[in-house]
Amino acid sequence: MHASSPPAKHSPWPAGDLTRVPYWVYSDAATHAREQDAIYLGPVWNYLCLEAEIPKAGDFKTTWVGEMPVVVCRDESGQLRAFENRCAHRGSLLCLKNRGNASEFTCVYHGWRHDMRGNLTGVAFRRGVNGEGGMPADFDLAAQGPRQLRTTTLCGLVFGTLCADTPAIEAFIGEEILARLQRVLHKPLRVYGEYTQVMPNNWKLYYENVKDTYHSSILHAFFGTFKVSRLSQGGGVIVHESGAHHVSYSLAHQGGPDHAFEQEALRSNQEQQLRLEDTSVLHIVDEFGDQCTVQILTIFPGFVLQSIYNSIAVRQILPRGVDQTHLVWTLIGFADDDEAMQTLRMKHANLVGPAGYVSMEDGAVGGFVQRGIATAASESSVMLMGGREAKSSASRASEASIRGFWKAWRQAMGI
Ligand code: FES
Ligand SMILES: [Fe+2]
């Protein structure tokens, strides 16, 4: 298949048009396979983990870059290292634990040893046994090994890249996104916990969802009904010029009538039917002092920073085959959180998380799309809300940041 062609018999993609997305992109196996090289191994920074998860020398965590398994660790000198989680010998996963502390990594299969950078340092029975067998005398330990990533840190986040051309992370995300990242991650972090949400849909459907400012007060009954986030509230969306990264934010509801929202027939406007026994879940501390109560930030191709009320979390979007996605949530706060803030963060995390009132809907709706388009590879979606461009806007009744995602995806894929 030529890089710029759709799969045979599938609809073409009009040049320069970001308002239609042909449905084959969510189900075509060849496209999925090519994304692994063209996107994840390309000039991007892939989110790996938080510095706070591996604070000491020897601490490690296993993670992924797309579908590539990766070990990220802090070496004996305190430097962050990352390498493919693949033994230099015959390719077994090298590290089988989710996290831990080690001075080296020894493969369970034949005992080949690797240092904290992923370099091969030892081969079991290299000289053979009783003068027989073993490796050839000219075998060079340094000549093979798992691929090593370049790492960088920003605001306590650790990113990795396999591409020599990836610019510095600050230049990659640009000033506006950087300022919005620093707004939240402005002091030492603390990790509260982690869980993985399994989604029955292609990863791009989730990335669209998280960039979809149009849906949040419509799909999410809790957001609309209890005025956590409505399209009628103040806010906006910032789209990076490449389209790749974005921030959306909403300001606190000012009270009073809300005609623009209430005149629509929405399932998310159920003030007469839905009541809260305990309204403390709606209590919020304005910890950044700017009346901005919800902010969602993405860094292409797989990072999300959420601050919804006082729930702060990073989400890592990981493809798992063409029609499944893992979303790894890490709930965080700050090292100096007092007990009241810890309680509040947990309460808001339960409101937002996949077993709460909001994100279970995002977990379901991607599957609804995947099922809805089962035989529609030659049809297309419509993304015309807010115009045809992929630019920043004061309105969130817009699909601008989703169009931005497709602009960046098409650029990376050469489509
Ligand atoms: S595959 Fe790792 S030692 Fe053989
Ligand atoms: Fe949502």
- Quick one: 250 and 396 in the same domain? yes
Q: What pLDDT does residue 18 have? A: 94
User: Which domain, by its residues, includes 366?
Assistant: 176-413
- Quick one: 140 and 226 in the same domain? no
Q: Closest ligand 1 atom to the C-alpha of 111? A: 3
Q: What pLDDT does residue 255 have? A: 66
Q: In angstroms, what is the span from residue 50 Cα to ligand 1's centroid?
A: 29
- Quick one: 256 and 131 in the same domain? no
Q: In angstroms, what is the span from residue 267 Cα to ligand 2's centroid?
A: 14
- Quick one: 384 and 255 in the same domain? yes
Q: Which of 119, 152, 185 is the last residue of a domain?
A: 152
Mean pLDDT of 17-21: 94
pLDDT band at 353 (very low <50, low <70, confident <90, very high): confident
Q: Tell me whether residue 9 is exposed, middle or buried, using C-beta atoms within 10 angstroms of its C-beta: 0 to 12, 13 to 18, 19 or more.
A: exposed
- Quick one: 392 and 340 in the same domain? yes
Instruction: Give the closest residue (by CA) to ligand 1 atom 4.
Output: 110
Q: Closest ligand 1 atom to the C-alpha of 90? A: 1
Q: What pLDDT does residue 395 have? A: 86
- Quick one: 142 and 270 in the same domain? no
How far is residue 384 from each of residues 23, 309, 361, measured CA to CA in Å?
Answer: 16, 30, 23
Q: What pLDDT does residue 357 have? A: 85
Q: In angstroms, what is the span from residue 121 Cα to ligand 2's centroid?
A: 47
Task: Kindly state if the Cβ of 97 falls inside 6 Å of ligand 1.
Answer: no
Task: Kindly state if the Cβ of 110 falls inside 6 Å of ligand 1.
Answer: yes
Q: Does residue 158 belong to any structural domain of this protein?
A: no
- Quick one: 209 and 127 in the same domain? no
Q: Closest ligand 1 atom to the C-alpha of 92? A: 1
Instruction: Give the closest residue (by CA) to ligand 1 atom 1.
Output: 90
- Quick one: 230 and 374 in the same domain? yes
Per-residue pLDDT for 399 more than 80?
A: yes
Three-state SS for the chain is CCCCCCCCCCCCCCCCCCCEEEHHHHCCHHHHHHHHHHHHCCCCCEEEEEHHHCCCCCEEEEEEECCEEEEEEECCCCCEEEEECCCCCCCCCCCCCCEEECCCEECCCCCCEECCCCCEEECCCCCCECCECCCCCCCCHHHCCCCEEEEEEECCEEEEECCCCCCCHHHHHHHHHHHHHHHHCCCCEEEEEEEEEEECCCHHHHHHHHCCCCCHHHHCHHHHHCCCCCCCCCEEEEECCCCCCEEEEEECCCCCCCHHHHCCCCCCCCCCCCCCCCHHHHCCCCCCCCCEEEEEEEECCCEEEEEECCEEEEEEEEECCCCCEEEEEEEEEECCCCHHHHHHHHHHHHHHCCCCCCHHHHHHHHHHHHHHCCCCCCCEEECCCCCCCCCCECCCCCCHHHHHHHHHHHHHHCC
Q: What pLDDT does residue 78 have? A: 96
Q: Does residue 113 belong to any structural domain of this protein?
A: yes
Task: Kindly state if the Cβ of 107 falls inside 6 Å of ligand 1.
Answer: yes
Mean pLDDT of 349-371: 92
- Quick one: 226 and 371 in the same domain? yes
Q: Does residue 355 belong to any structural domain of this protein?
A: yes
- Quick one: 220 and 356 in the same domain? yes
Q: Does residue 387 belong to any structural domain of this protein?
A: yes
Q: Does residue 91 belong to any structural domain of this protein?
A: yes
Q: In angstroms, what is the span from residue 86 Cα to ligand 2's centroid?
A: 35
Q: Please state, rounded to an integer, the average pLDDT across all residues of the chain.
A: 92
Q: Closest ligand 1 atom to the C-alpha of 88? A: 2
Q: Does residue 187 belong to any structural domain of this protein?
A: yes
- Quick one: 139 and 192 in the same domain? no
Report the CATH number that the domain containing residue 123 is assigned in CATH. Answer: 2.102.10.10
Taking only the tens place, the pLDDT of each residue in 299-326 is 999 999 999 999 999 999 999 999 999 9
Q: Does residue 50 belong to any structural domain of this protein?
A: yes
Taking only the tens place, the pLDDT of each residue in 211-257 is 999 998 889 888 778 777 666 778 899 999 999 999 999 888 776 66
Instruction: Give the closest residue (by CA) to ligand 1 atom 3.
Output: 110
Residues in the chain: 415
Q: Does residue 12 belong to any structural domain of this protein?
A: no
Q: Using CA atoms, how far apart are residues 354 and 227, in angstroms rounded to an integer?
A: 20
Per-residue pLDDT for 336 more than 50?
A: yes
Task: Kindly state if the Cβ of 126 falls inside 6 Å of ligand 1.
Answer: no
Report the CATH number that the domain containing residue 396 is assigned in CATH. Answer: 3.90.380.10
- Quick one: 376 and 276 in the same domain? yes
Q: Which of 152, 185, 211 is the last residue of a domain?
A: 152
Task: Kindly state if the Cβ of 61 falls inside 6 Å of ligand 1.
Answer: no
Domain count, the chain: 2
